[in-house]
Chains A and B, each alone.
Chain A
């Protein structure tokens, strides 16, 4: 997968012709000679395939190349900011889980049409409000509590607000999915059996129905990491959070190819890790998934 992504992005980036030196080339004060020397330094004079494979070889050795924009190794830039995005996304995911799962439980437990309808409205709204608008409202809130001096510092309040903004679309998907799965699960035979055994409805839902419903929720949770990363681009830019997302915007604006590539690779790795983690958790939760895997291997 990584190969495919990096090859496509790399090909596209080179096909369009422009690179970080385009601006220099148009500058009359910079001589043709200087530009050529610089392209030789950065290896831009070689053909695309050569560049791609040397880049790929660099990756194998843990070298993501040099950023034109920041004049520093891409890997260092990424590592310096990856942590910030990770914190933001984890806070967002926690908020989403803490809101969506208990709400789904309450809706299924109480079985009130009114509450169900209310949840539908919330889900639709949370899914429809663009992250930019939510982030701008968060920014407004942030300014009004911290005064005019707000300048994109990494305060806990900013973290919390950013997390909420990131969580909104995920809450919508998670709540809808969790509710749907629980509604399906509570009518299954083995759950009915638990109920007829005389267990309290709470125990029936939490211990039996919930385990049945957990796997699709885990899948969605794993996929939502991608949503979070997309969201962090906008949220970080607006709230001035120094993470990968705002770095990507800077890289795109500066047409810093190696930095863009580095970020694409880093996010693919993170997304892949998240999905793999979700799969492992599914296997722990559900023996059927484990045996299904074993069967396909045979």
Chain B
């Protein structure tokens, strides 16, 4: 169990690295197209050339579109193109501060040199791997911000509800229960319908964050309120009150710290809900829009029956990434189930 948790942390750290250094790891810009190779299969990375000779430096062959209709490719075995590390390529902004154009790996852009595609290209000839990294970054920045906001609202309303009189409590918890009872995705979609369909990426991201916060606070509020109510019964709170501390001080210094671990865990566990909501919205075409990729828009490409049939694993790669992330979060969040007493 210990080992599993460590693995999950390592996976989450890797996601963190992708968020920070995604532009550097990706060999190409997420919008850069190569019109000569639409829907190309992944490049085969080789160590042995056609004469069976071993090369220490891995290389690829150029892939040529053999039949444009069925999008089948053939490898041109005449010249090998070696992969290089720290290859100059598309300019990007490193960590959002420095402008850079060195990428972790790639094929040197000489005349007639092919591009390297770890996951092939989409129908517009964009590198799927670069787009996947970019999509991970978008989804994993938007969702935690939305979750954090929802969480903060939930804690505040929970504290208010837990410490105030019966009427405020009833109103707040009534609203929270209503939101909890309704299907989340239906609520989010209804809220989304209020805004224009096509938005620039930054505004779409902000809108998603706001919608998540507006819809997602209820669970945290309920939990916080319950914790506050139960901690209030303890003797040390009575003692604090007896020595004349103010209500606000008791709330922030005595009640909140004791409720904190549970609330913190709750925040972590709800993170996947927001990720899945973002994916669902973008997938359904009402979240982020082309050409900016998110895990949802990337997955939407898989709904294209032809692509899905030709290379299911590659098209479903964003889905696999989501599954791995959610699993890791669940493992780190820890199990709460009862085990056999024996």
Cβ–Cβ contact B193 & A252, under 8 A: yes
A150 in the interface (beta carbon within 8 A) = yes
B190 — which chain A residues lie within 8 A by C-beta?
A: 9, 12-13, 248, 252, 260-261, 263-264
Least distance between B218 CB and chain A CB atoms (Å): 12
A264 — which chain B residues lie within 8 A by C-beta?
A: 182, 186-187, 190
B316 — which chain A residues lie within 8 A by C-beta?
A: 133, 136-137
B194 and chain A: residue at smallest CB distance: A16
B308 — which chain A residues lie within 8 A by C-beta?
A: 136, 139-140, 143
B87 in the interface (beta carbon within 8 A) = no
Q: Which of B186, B191, B338 contacts A248 (CB 8 A)?
A: B186
Within residues 285 to 315 of chain B, which ones have a CB less than 8 A from any CB in chain A? 285-286, 296, 299, 302-303, 305, 308-309, 312, 315
Cβ–Cβ contact B183 & A227, under 8 A: yes
A267 in the interface (beta carbon within 8 A) = yes
Cβ–Cβ contact B192 & A252, under 8 A: yes
B177, B183, B196, B316 — which one has the most chain A CB atoms within 10 A of its CB? B183
Cβ–Cβ contact A130 & B322, under 8 A: yes
Given contacts A16-B194, A139-B308, A230-B185, contact A252 B286 (CB under 8 A): yes
Contact string, A139-152, partner B, CB cutoff 8 A, digits 1/0?
11001100010100
Contact string, A177-199, partner B, CB cutoff 8 A, digits 1/0?
00110011001000000000000
Cβ–Cβ contact B181 & A233, under 8 A: no
Q: What is the CA–CA distance of A256 and B197 in the complex, to the nearest angstrom?
A: 12
A83 — which chain B residues lie within 8 A by C-beta?
A: none
Cβ–Cβ contact A139 & B305, under 8 A: yes
B327 in the interface (beta carbon within 8 A) = yes
A9 — which chain B residues lie within 8 A by C-beta?
A: 190-191
Q: What is the CA–CA distance of A264 and B339 in the complex, to the nearest angstrom?
A: 40
A125 and chain B: residue at smallest CB distance: B327
Within residues 170 to 189 of chain B, which ones have a CB less than 8 A from any CB in chain A? 174-175, 177-178, 181-187, 189
Say which size band chain B's interface belongs to.
35 or more
Q: Which of B177, B299, B335 contacts A136 (CB 8 A)?
A: B299
Q: Which of B192, B299, B337 contacts A133 (CB 8 A)?
A: B299
20 more contacts with CB within 8 A, not counting A5-B182, A234-B284, A264-B182, are A1-B178, A1-B181, A4-B174, A16-B194, A16-B195, A113-B340, A120-B335, A120-B337, A132-B319, A136-B319, A139-B303, A139-B305, A140-B309, A143-B309, A234-B283, A248-B190, A252-B193, A253-B285, A267-B183, A267-B186
Within residues 10 to 65 of chain B, which ones have a CB less than 8 A from any CB in chain A? none
Least distance between A261 CB and chain B CB atoms (Å): 8
Within residues 43 to 89 of chain A, which ones have a CB less than 8 A from any CB in chain B? none
Q: Determine the main DSSP class of A at the interface with B.
A: helix
Q: List 10 A-B contacts (CB under 8 A).
A: A1-B177, A12-B190, A125-B323, A129-B323, A137-B316, A230-B183, A253-B197, A255-B193, A264-B187, A268-B182
Cβ–Cβ contact A179 & B337, under 8 A: yes
Residues of A within 8 A of B (CB): 1, 4-5, 9, 12-16, 18, 22, 111, 113, 116, 120, 124-125, 127-133, 136-137, 139-140, 143-144, 148, 150, 176, 179-180, 183-184, 187, 226-227, 229-231, 233-234, 237-238, 248-249, 251-253, 255-257, 260-261, 263-264, 267-268, 271-272, 275
Cβ–Cβ contact A13 & B194, under 8 A: yes
Q: What is the CA–CA distance of A179 and B285 in the complex, to the nearest angstrom?
A: 39
A230 — which chain B residues lie within 8 A by C-beta?
A: 183-186
Q: What is the CA–CA distance of A16 and B194 in the complex, to the nearest angstrom?
A: 5
B279 in the interface (beta carbon within 8 A) = yes
How many A-B contacts at CB < 8 Å in the complex?
163
Cβ–Cβ contact B193 & A251, under 8 A: yes
B342 — which chain A residues lie within 8 A by C-beta?
A: 111
Cβ–Cβ contact B338 & A183, under 8 A: yes
B299 — which chain A residues lie within 8 A by C-beta?
A: 132-133, 136
Cβ–Cβ contact B309 & A257, under 8 A: no
B153 — which chain A residues lie within 8 A by C-beta?
A: none
Q: What is the CA–CA distance of A129 and B78 in the complex, to the nearest angstrom?
A: 43
Cβ–Cβ contact A144 & B309, under 8 A: yes
Contact string, B313-342, partner A, CB cutoff 8 A, digits 1/0?
001100110110011001100010111111
B204 in the interface (beta carbon within 8 A) = no
Q: What is the CA–CA distance of A215 and B272 in the complex, to the nearest angstrom?
A: 28
Q: Which of A13, A116, A183 contacts B193 (CB 8 A)?
A: A13
Cβ–Cβ contact B178 & A237, under 8 A: no
Q: What is the CA–CA distance of A128 and B312 in the complex, to the nearest angstrom?
A: 19
Q: Which of A130, A180, A272 contacts B337 (CB 8 A)?
A: A180
Cβ–Cβ contact B196 & A271, under 8 A: no
Cβ–Cβ contact B330 & A127, under 8 A: yes
Q: Which of A4, A131, A183, A229 contacts B178 (CB 8 A)?
A: A4
A248 — which chain B residues lie within 8 A by C-beta?
A: 186, 189-190
B147 in the interface (beta carbon within 8 A) = no
B312 and chain A: residue at smallest CB distance: A140
Within residues 56 to 97 of chain B, which ones have a CB less than 8 A from any CB in chain A? none
Cβ–Cβ contact B175 & A4, under 8 A: yes
